[in-house]
Structure 1
Amino acid sequence: MSRKRTSYLACLVILSLTVASCGVVVRQVNHAYQKIEAGSLRYQGRLAPLTAKEQLWAKTAWRYFVNNTNNSTGLVNSIDRYPVASVWHMGDYLAALMAAHQLSLIDKIEFDQRLSQFLEFVAKMPLAQGKLPNKNYNTKTGAMLDAANKDGEAGWSATDISRLMVWLKIIGEHYPEYQEYLDKVILRWQYCEVIDDCGQLYRYGKTGAAWQKQQDGRLGYEEYAGTGFSLWGFNANQARKMKLDHRISVDNLQLLLDERDPRVTNTANPILTTPYVLLGLEFGWQEGQKYSRYWPNNGDFLKQQADMVYRVQEQRWFKDKIYTARTDHYLAVAPYRLLDSVYANGLPWNTISDSDNRYPQYALVATSAVFGLWVLWDTPYTDQLMKVTEALFDKDRGWYEGRYETSGAYERLISSHTNAMVLESLLYKTRGKLYLGKQRIGYFNVKLDKVYELPQHCLPPERAVCPN
């Protein structure tokens, strides 16, 4: 134990002795020690070993992945019993797998078997245009799927790819014995059309009958995506360089809003909980501080925005008595996926589809958002959020998507993302941020050092210097 931690613990003992009996002292000191061991001096939120109830929550979430793993490919369905997986959800699976092992839900043998089968698939999976992971795959056959989830190509999403990149990196940090194989996945892909030399990210897909490359990501998810690429040495500055002078007011609280006008770009600019929660769970919002030169008066930009996203939802409950945990989520009925926002396309508390149709009746207290808010903000409000959420599961299938704001009814769809968020949040509770930031020389680094043998995939050493 470090001197700082030892001194802090000693202070707790002395303070406790002045106000409590011996039995209470023991309990208080033990609780304080557990919080210190979990990282409460360094990280925000609820940090302590899981309670028996919380361990049951984790077991329930892992049940989803047990039920939805396809033995032929090692992939996990994105939606319960529906044999499709997106690249984003492949990253979710890695997050859930690490959590399951570190929370003692599975042993190392099962962890190894699952990870090895997953790596076998991604090492040889077909790539869109022969370059990058396709948006969706059939979890039974491993075939690429088009936008209608029929065999074919749908193109790629930089944001989805980044989720997998983040978790290939985190798994390699925690389990260096697999790092070589994780690195080989990254080295297989070609990056020329997904990120440019200045760090702008792109998606590629069909618009009507034509294939088009377009800028990918909006405020929140764009920062997360940029982080995923930067972990592997790419200059992702443009994706993370957001202006601070474009703000909106929701209930008299100021939040940053993406400056790109959805009426011009035909892409929504929602403020959602999930990206800010992920940046907290995985990086402790610390990664953004490296790039404070782009935010000269606000090096802690990501943390401040995350706090405001939390506070405005808390304030809505205190003011209007509406439980609020807004983020993108799935539905069992059309349009099947919604951007359930704090603010989007000119309106607060706007629930919209990707095509900008409004669905206020489908606003959710989203389970994924509740767990992230609950573990990162230890407040009376998140206590209340958890009370209205903690029963939203089927112990044999996993956690439901959420509870409707309008009626309190369940949205009974069960997804890999929600159950991965439950596991990731509970893992954070036991240890703090999940990305370790260790600088370890591995296969990836050795290959990049061989400048005359580079594969011409637009990897970091093959890039031109950004002129800006």
Structure 2
Amino acid sequence: MEHDQMYGLTFKDESGTVEVQQEGRLGYEQYAGKAFQRLGFGMNLSARYHNQYATTTEVSGMELLVDSRDASTLGAHNYVVSESYAMDALEHGLNDENKPLLEAIYKVQQRRWEQTGKVTAVSEDNLDRKPYFVYNTIFSDDIPWAAITDKGEDMSEMRSLSVKAAFSMAYLFPEREYSKVLREAVKEARSPKGGWYSGIYEDPAKGFNKAVTANTNGVVLSIFLHKLYGALNQQCDNCGKGAKLGEDFLQRNKDKQQCLGKLKTASPY
């Protein structure tokens, strides 16, 4: 952690040379930055959406906030996807900064559906076929609705409706008509024994994206948790028993450290 940002270390070559790289782009950077901020790290830049790297662009006739850092020179793509904004809301809660951004993420995907007839809720997802992982984005590297690998290779033929994105958008905007469309579109995208599939390919010939992952199902479970208790980290604020860094970090007394009290149950919506 340095200069209010997150940094990672990678081995540059076989010699073992270590390279320091700034981590995160607009969206996931703020989602992660807020978590580190709660642990006491200075994240004034990474935890804010409207920082010096933020700019705007137009997608499907709507203005969106995007990251201005260029993948061609810095090597990191500025993916705009649903998941980071949804998880920020589910875990950290909504405020005057992220609420309008989440609204824009929802509306631009509704706009694409209105313009193309294709039900749209996109995020990064595992695939059940090669290349096995694709970033289905609202915007990336100056391209609206880009579907690419982490190396920037075009994967438009693998574009899909993401189950986790559809459910999270529908949950966060429950009374909207488009939310009903999203719920209806993905309600059968599941394995009776294995959980929710990752998505449904836009190409009808491909059908379901039957990759079953902890990521997709973890997001669905996060929605249930929010439905029962509200934003998780706000619950930690209320009980005063949030995570602390130190030697006893993992040595917790289960009864005394139970933030949520008596467990509840929720039925699918």
**Band the TM-score falls in, shorter-chain normalisation:** 0.7 to 0.9
Q: Give the corresponding residue for 2:64.
A: 255
Matched residue of 1:246: which SS?
strand
Asked whether the 8 Å contact 1:273–1:327 carries over to 2, the reply is yes
Are 2:20 and 1:213 equivalent residues in the alignment? yes
**Structure 1 residue 320 corresponds to structure 2 residue 102:** no
Contact 1:375 1:426 in 2 (8 A): no
Q: Which residue of 1 aligns with 2:157?
A: 361
Q: How far did 1:444 drift?
A: 3.9
**Equivalent of residue 183 in structure 2, options 380, 383, 386:** 386
Is residue 243 of structure 2 the alignment partner of residue 438 of structure 1? no
Q: Mark the CA change 1:442 to 1:208 in structure 2 (over 3 Å): closer, same or farther.
A: closer
Q: Partners of 1:305 and 1:441 in 2: how far apart?
A: 30
* CA distances 1:292-327 after superposition (whole Å, capped 9, x unpaired): xxxxxxxx2221111111100011112221100110
Greater relative contact order structure (CA < 8 Å, 6+ sep): 1
Residue 170 (structure 2) pairs with residue 374 (structure 1): yes
Aligned pairs (5 A) from 1:169-318: 195-196=1-2, 198-209=3-14, 210-241=17-48, 242-243=51-52, 246-286=55-95, 300-318=96-114
TM-score under structure 2 length normalisation: 0.83
SS at structure 2 position matched to 1:236:
coil
Q: Residues 110 and 178 of structure 2 are in contact (CA less than 8 Å); yes or no, is this contact kept in structure 1?
A: yes
User: Aligned ranges for residues 68-107 of structure 1 at < 5 Å?
Assistant: none
Q: Which runs of 5+ in 2 are unaligned?
A: 249-269
Change in CA separation of 1:446 and 1:390 when aligned onto 2, cut-off 3 Å: closer
Counterpart residue type for residue 214 of structure 2: S
Q: 1:245 to 1:402 in 2, by over 3 A?
A: closer
- Code of the residue aligned with 2:7 in structure 1: it is Y
From 220, 223, 226, give the equivalent of 1:428.
Answer: 226
The answer as to whether partners of 2:89 and 2:231 remain within 8 angstroms in 1 is: yes
Q: How large is the RMSD of aligned CA atoms in angstroms?
A: 2.2
Amino acid at match of 1:202: Y
**Contact 1:330/1:401 (CA < 8 Å) preserved in 2?**
yes
* Deviation, structure 1 residue 393: 0.9
1:440 maps to a residue whose letter is G
Asked which structure has the greater CA Rg, the reply is: 1
Tell whether the 8 Å contact from 1:366 to 1:403 is kept in structure 2 after alignment: yes
| Letter aligned with residue 230 of structure 1 | Q
Higher percent of residues as strand:
2
Q: Give the letter aligned to residue 225 of structure 2.
A: L
TM-score normalized with structure 1 length: 0.49
Count of aligned residue pairs for this structure pair: 240
Q: Which ranges in structure 1 are unaligned for 5 or more consecutive residues?
A: 1-194, 287-299, 449-468
